[in-house]
Every structure is written in C-alpha cells, then in structure tokens.
Amino acid sequence: MSTSLYGVIALAETAIGLLLMVRLAIGPTISDRIVALNTLSTQAALAVLFFAAFADRTIYLDVALWLASFSYLGAIVWARYLERGLL
Amino acid sequence: MKTVAFLVTAGIGLAFSLSGAVGILRMPDLYSRIQCSSKTVTMGALPALIALVVGEGIDSGYASRALLIAVLLLVVNPTASHALARAAYKSGVPMWSGAVRDEVAGREDSQRRREQDCAGPE
Amino acid sequence: MTLFWTLDYLVLALIVIGTVLVVRLRNLNGAVMALSAVGTMLSLIFVVLGAPDDAHSEVVVGAIALPVLYLVAIGKARTDVAGGGEMQEEGESHHDGD
C-alpha cells in the first residue's frame, strides 16, 4: 500500500468541500447552511484521517475524533438556536 | 489483493461522498438536502473508514480510531439530521412546490400544545 | 511531496473562500456560519502543517465556542430591532421580538 494513495484520497475528500462551500454561500435559508457546514465537518474529519495515514503519524487521528464529535455539538446548538433561540 | 479491496472500498466511499455533495448542491428543497446530508454522507464515510482499516490492518492504531469514528458517525449523524429537520420544520422553512404531501401538518397543533404543557419554567 | 503542497493550497483556498464569505454575506447568521466553516478548515490546515495540538484547540474554539458567542451576542442585540429588514432570511423571524 503506497502512502501517496492515502494522500490522493485526502485530497479528494477535501475537494468535495468546495462544492459544499458553494452551498454555504448561496443557501437560501439558514438551515441549508447548517446542512452544508455539518457535511463539511464530516469531510474534514475524513480528510484528517487519511492525511494521518499519509503522513504516518498516529497522533493526528485524535483531531478527526474531535471534529466528528464536535460537528454533532455544533449541529445541536444551531438546531436549538433555530427552534427557540439560545439562552 | 489488499490493494484491490482498499481501492474498491475507497472508491465506493468517494463516489457516495461526491454524490452527497452534488445532492446538497442541486436538490430543490431543504428537506431533500437534509436527506442527502444524512444518508448519503454517512454511506460515503463508512466505506472510506473501512478502506482505512483494510489498508492499515485491523491491529494498527488507525483501525481503532477509524472504527470508533464509524460508530460515532452512525449514532450521531441521524440524530443531528433529525434535530435539524425538526427545527427547520418548526421555524417554517417552506417545502418544494412539487412536494406531494406533508405528513406532519395535521399533528402540528397538537404537538405544539403538548410541548407547551410539558415545558417547565425557564 | 507535491501532493502535500496540493493539499496545502486546496485547504488554503477553502479558508480564503470562507473568509470572503464572512465579509461579504449580508445575513448575520450566515456570516457566523461561514466563520465556523473557517474554524473547521483552519483546524484542517493545522493538521496538514503538523500542529495537532493547535488543531485541537482550534476545533473547540474556532468551530464551536466563537460562533456560539457570536450567536448569543446577535440574539441579544437583535431583540431590540423591530423587523430584521434585509438582514433576515425566511424562516428565522420567530424568536426575534416581533
């Protein structure tokens, strides 16, 4: 297994973020942007995972774990803000 | 053999992730976009994580974190999508004009009244 | 090595796009959301450049805590404004004080 293959996959997962950034820019309602942001966070977690395999450092994997769990927290916060407002 | 399995699973994951992103970009409606965000992106993430497990071996440090993230995504992603769709429906985001029916429309009043009964002082 | 720099410049391009969105979006909530996207991409570039500890703190602070603080500030400031005017999108007028 060549490590450059991992780099190519990390690159592709990041390039998907460009499409999501377009939806983040033009989203007609506020919820469209939340959907794009949540998906962008998931793609960033996948890119960090494959970049960790590409760079051969195990310690980068924890960042992916934090990204995956904190994207959930962000989505819950935004949903609560939409539903009744914070505070 | 391992390379072929890695390429097949990673290709499936990348194809699903790309189709999910194109769906988020092209779907006419918020609820359709939430569907793309929930199901298709989870289906795109899981084969990619399995590809990492296949490529690095099941007993490496990568596999444990990848499987943990897979379980986390399986639990967390539908929950977040459900909360988001519920909040969007309650805040009155319009449906697509070609949408066929709204299953929750009749229950909205009773649901809201029940929540007002259950809601404590804040 | 050129693959590494391609990934680097791609993430940099995403950061620049997000930052331009923060400045250019007319909707306040959308601008805060673009700020959260910038935080996520900034944590990704910290990982790419080899600083995972900064990436940890950037995930917590830049992607979650800072947008939540901005949301609280916007929610507190906007209760005084009668009707959002052009700052408002459809489907977010219910908890403003209208």
B12: phi then psi, degrees, rounded to nearest 5? -65, -45
Tokens 């409606």, residue located: B29
Evaluate whether B29 touches C91 at the Cβ level (below 8 Å): no
- Identify the pLDDT of residue B106: 67
- Mean pLDDT (chain A) is 89
DSSP states along B15-74? HHHHHHHHHHHH-SSHHHHHHIIIIIHHHHHHHHHHHHHHHH-TTSHHHHHHHHHHHHHH
Tell me what the mean pLDDT of segment A37-43 comes to: 92
Mean pLDDT for all residues in chain C: 82
Q: Which of residues 27-86 of A touch C (CB under 8 A)?
A: 27-31, 33-34, 37, 40-41, 44, 47-48, 51-52, 54-55, 57, 59-60, 62-63, 66-67, 70-71, 73-74, 77-78, 81-82, 84-86
The whole-number pLDDT of residue C76 equals: 81
Contacts of B119 (CB under 8 A, 6+ apart): none
- Between chains, do C52 and A34 touch, taking CB under 8 Å as contact? no
- Per CB-CB distance under 8 Å, the chain B contacts of C90 are 92-94
Q: What is the ipTM of this complex?
A: 0.90
C-alpha B64: how far from chain center: 22
pLDDT at B18 over 70: yes
Tell me if C3 and A27 make a contact (CB, 8 A cut-off).
no
Kindly report, residue by residue over C51-60, the tens digit of the pLDDT: 999 999 999 9
Q: How far is A70 from chain B (nearest CA, A)?
A: 10
Residue B64 phi, psi (nearest 5):
-65, -45
Q: What is the pLDDT of residues B40-51, one digit of tens each?
A: 999 999 999 999
B75-108 residue pLDDT tens: 999 999 999 998 888 888 888 887 777 777 766 5
Residue entry with tokens 């090595």: C1
B93 in contact with A, Cβ within 8 Å = yes
* Domain assignments of chain C as residue spans, ordered by start: 2-79
Give the chain A residue nearest B1 (alpha carbons). Answer: A1
Nearest to C34 by CA among A34, A54, A61: A34
A30-48: average pLDDT: 92
CA angle B58, B60, B65 (to 5 degrees): 85
Q: Answer left, alpha or beta for residue C82, where phi above 0 means left and psi between -120 and 50 means alpha.
A: beta
- Averaged pLDDT, C18-47: 92
**pTM over 0.80, yes/no:** yes
For chain C, give the percent of residues with pLDDT over 90.
57
